[in-house]
């Protein structure tokens, strides 16, 4: 029995061993087959792909498509009339060498001219001269590239780049005055001229300049008619309109940038309290950089509505705030510059007015909704002959309401010398009219310069601003009577960081005493201020107007630096 069981067990063991061997053999065969099959399949697949590529279609470059063609069409139409202006200045021997430069210096910014300061001429606000245009453009646009020989005798020549645009096929070009001012040589390159660094371009000469608007007209010889731009009407430009700036930023020719009109009638002078009365700009976010100066700002009709002039910048490049002189101003100035005298003549009626008037004064004199308070009248000139007097309020010109002094200057200055206008004015609250003859503004300014200001010396007229940091105007007699004071002067401006600013004097304050001495008028004010010395205690008694004004006449004081 045991023998039989043993035989059965041996049989099962043999069968199990054979089955395992067969299984291992089968697995080995299958693995080898899979490996060979994979290699074979991969080879067949690769060969199949190479064969099947015959049905692949080659890529073709399509013909150019016209998508939004407005920008490109304008660039093609206007571009040929935009030029590159290269100037060379040779520093002259100077006895007074400057030790440094103020403002930012941006390469290829263009020659920065001094321009003309706004002086104490007729039909403008009283106060100190405007900041030098050199400093203005250094601050807002950047000076010319290079410091070689600046104000140094025998120094190297200085070069600068700018832009311009052709307005007459005979070679007349408009650009910025600060691009060509003080340049000894001016060269112009057309868009069709070859890009050759050794070729400076075609010699140009200045036809005329107007520093008040920073506009210049230059000319090159043109044997054949040149392409020109079409001038548009800047009054039609609206905030939000698309515009293109075309020029030579950083010397990169034929550069076009796009943006919109960001604002209009923008004043950007270095002294915001007394802005230049002839500079009102179109603001744009189209990229404007050094070298764009003098180039055109073009609307979507392909018409030039402005000339790129300046930028606000903290990085020496475009930050999206650029300014262009409106085309209507450009056209008016250009037409005078190409005339026989090659100069700009502006009208004047011979008055002076406060550029900043406290709200209380406007309410008291009845022109809170607009008007110009006359402070002084030039003897023998138009307004004087027509009977206009100090303390009159001009409210209209030829029936058109006048908002403020800037609007009055803009209107009168554009009038032809010798013509007449009807002025509407208030006197003692009653409306009157007068026919006033227009005179030559430059002649009136010249006469004022020769005659002086109430025989005051330059030091006297500047004492308040230089010592105290303020500018003032006399309080009108009627207003003084209303306030119960004997004269006084109104603070028009306070220079930041000045002595007056440190002791908290503010614009609109009325100074009635200085160091317990009464201020009857501007003459008394100047006499007292001229006598002040460094280290002296100075106490001001003032009258403050307004709903929250303190009662009485508060005192402000400090030690003069």
74-337: which CATH number, 2.40.10.120, 2.40.50.140, 2.60.40.1180, 3.40.50.80?
2.40.10.120
Is residue 192 within 8 Å of residue 225, measured between CB atoms? no
What lies within 8 Å, CB to CB, of 156 at 6+ separation is 91, 148, 149
- For the chain, residues with pLDDT lower than 50 are 44, 46-48, 93-122, 124-154, 272-274, 452-461
How far is residue 212's CA from residue 113's CA, in Å, rounded to a whole number? 11
Give, in order, the Cα–Cα distances in Å from 74 to each of 254, 259, 325.
13, 14, 20
Is residue 254 within 8 Å of residue 191, measured between CB atoms? yes
Give, in order, the Cα–Cα distances in Å from 54 to each of 46, 58, 265.
14, 10, 67
List the structure tokens of 137: 């453009």
Domain locations in the chain?
Answer: 74-337, 347-448, 453-559
How far is residue 225's CA from residue 171's CA, in Å, rounded to a whole number? 8
Q: Name which of 297, 366, 347, 363 is nearest 325 in CA terms.
A: 297
Is residue 323 within 8 Å of residue 281, measured between CB atoms? yes
pLDDT, tens only, 59-74: 888 786 665 568 888 8
Annotation marks residue 147 as catalytic: no
Burial class (CB in 10 A: 0-12, 13-18, 19+), 278: buried
Q: Name which of 277, 298, 550, 254 is nearest 408 in CA terms.
A: 277
Is residue 315 within 8 Å of residue 220, measured between CB atoms? no
List the structure tokens of 105: 């210096």
Between the CA atoms of 129, 130, 132 and 133, what dihedral angle is there, to the nearest 10 degrees? -140
How far is residue 164's CA from residue 493's CA, in Å, rounded to a whole number? 37
- Give the 3-state secondary structure of residue 425: strand
Q: Name which of 237, 256, 238 is nearest 246 in CA terms.
A: 256
Fold equal for 347-448 and 453-559? yes
How far is residue 156's CA from residue 145's CA, in Å, rounded to a whole number? 13
Rg (CA), the chain: 39
Listed as own residue / partner, the contacts of 195-198 with beta carbons closer than 8 Å and 24 or more positions apart are 195/253
pLDDT of residue 88: 87
pLDDT of residue 102: 32
- Identify the CATH class of 347-448: mainly beta
- Identify the CATH class of 453-559: mainly beta
Of 214, 376, 392, 406, the catalytic one is 214
For residues 363-400, one letter each, b for 16 or more C-beta atoms within 10 angstroms of the residue's C-beta and e for the rest, the string is ebbebeeebbbbbbbbeebbbbbbebeeebbbbbbeee
Of 178, 262, 355, 447, the catalytic one is 178
Would you list the DSSP string of 114-168? Answer: ------S-TTEE-SSPPPPHHHHHHHHT-B-S--TTTT-TTPPPEEEEEEEEEEE
How far is residue 74's CA from residue 370's CA, in Å, rounded to a whole number? 41
pLDDT of residue 140: 41
How far is residue 291's CA from residue 148's CA, in Å, rounded to a whole number? 19
Of 293, 348, 396, 498, the catalytic one is 293
Element (H, E) at 24: helix 2-52
Would you list the DSSP string of 526-554? Answer: HHHHHT--TT-EEEEEEE--STTPPSS--
Annotation marks residue 342 as catalytic: no
Our CA angle for 301, 324, 184, nearest 5°, is 115
Look-up of token digits 């930050």 = 319
How far is residue 376's CA from residue 372's CA, in Å, rounded to a whole number? 12
Q: Name which of 353, 392, 546, 396 is nearest 477 in CA terms.
A: 392
How far is residue 522's CA from residue 529's CA, in Å, rounded to a whole number? 10
How far is residue 69's CA from residue 86's CA, in Å, rounded to a whole number? 32
Annotation marks residue 396 as catalytic: no
pLDDT of residue 166: 95
Element (H, E) at 267: none
Is residue 357 within 8 Å of residue 375, measured between CB atoms? no
């Amino acid at each position: 029995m045991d023998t039989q069981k043993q035989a059965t067990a041996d049989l099962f063991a043999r069968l199990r061993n054979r089955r395992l061997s067969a299984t291992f053999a089968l697995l080995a065969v299958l693995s080898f087959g899979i490996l060979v099959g994979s290699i074979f399949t991969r080879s067949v697949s690769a060969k199949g792909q190479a064969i099947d590529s015959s049905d692949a279609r080659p890529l073709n470059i399509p013909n150019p498509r016209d998508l939004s063609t407005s920008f490109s069409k304008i660039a093609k139409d206007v571009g040929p009339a935009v030029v590159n202006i290269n100037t060379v200045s040779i520093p002259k021997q100077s006895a007074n060498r400057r030790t440094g430069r103020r403002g930012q210096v941006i390469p290829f910014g263009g020659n920065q001219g001094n321009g003309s300061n706004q002086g104490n001429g007729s039909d403008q606000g009283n106060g100190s001269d405007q900041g030098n245009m050199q400093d203005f453009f250094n601050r807002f646009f950047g000076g010319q590239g290079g410091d070689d020989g600046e104000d140094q005798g025998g120094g190297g020549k200085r070069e600068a780049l700018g832009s311009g645009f052709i307005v007459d096929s005979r070679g007349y070009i408009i650009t910025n005055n600060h691009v060509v001012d003080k340049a000894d040589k001016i060269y112009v390159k057309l868009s069709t001229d070859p890009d050759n660094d050794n070729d400076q371009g075609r010699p140009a000469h200045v036809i005329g300049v107007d520093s008040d608007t920073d506009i210049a007209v230059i000319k090159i010889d043109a044997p054949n008619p040149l392409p020109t731009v079409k001038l548009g009407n800047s009054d039609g430009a609206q905030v939000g309109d698309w515009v293109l700036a075309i020029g030579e930023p950083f010397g990169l020719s034929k550069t076009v940038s796009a943006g919109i009109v960001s604002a209009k009638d923008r004043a950007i002078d270095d002294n915001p309290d007394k802005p230049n009365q002839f500079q009102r700009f179109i603001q744009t976010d189209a990229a404007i950089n050094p070298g764009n100066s003098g180039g055109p700002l073009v609307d979507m009709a392909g018409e030039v509505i402005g000339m790129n002039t300046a930028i606000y910048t903290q990085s020496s490049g475009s930050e999206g705030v650029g300014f262009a002189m409106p085309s209507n101003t450009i056209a008016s100035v250009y037409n005078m510059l190409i005339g026989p005298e090659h100069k700009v003549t502006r009208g004047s009626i011979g008055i002076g007015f406060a550029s900043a008037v406290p709200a209380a004064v406007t309410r008291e004199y009845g022109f809170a909704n607009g008007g110009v308070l006359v402070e002084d009248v030039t003897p023998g000139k138009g307004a004087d002959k027509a009977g206009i007097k100090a303390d009159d309020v001009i409210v209209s010109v030829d029936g058109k309401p006048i908002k403020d002094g800037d609007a009055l200057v803009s209107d009168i200055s554009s009038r032809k010398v010798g013509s007449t206008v009807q002025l509407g004015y208030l006197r003692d609250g009653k409306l009157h009219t007068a026919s006033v003859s227009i005179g030559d503004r430059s002649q009136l300014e010249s006469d004022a310069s020769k005659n002086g200001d109430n025989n005051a010396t330059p030091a006297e007229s500047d004492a308040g601003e230089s010592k105290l940091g303020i500018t003032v105007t006399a309080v009108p007699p009627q207003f003084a009577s209303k306030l119960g004071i004997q004269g006084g002067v109104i603070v028009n401006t306070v220079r930041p960081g000045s002595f007056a600013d440190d002791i908290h004097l503010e614009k609109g304050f009325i100074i009635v005493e200085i160091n317990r001495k009464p201020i009857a008028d501007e003459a008394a004010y100047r006499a007292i201020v001229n006598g002040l010395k460094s280290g002296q205690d100075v106490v001001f008694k003032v009258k403050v107007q307004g709903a929250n004004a303190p009662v009485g006449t508060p005192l402000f004081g400090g030690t003069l630096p």
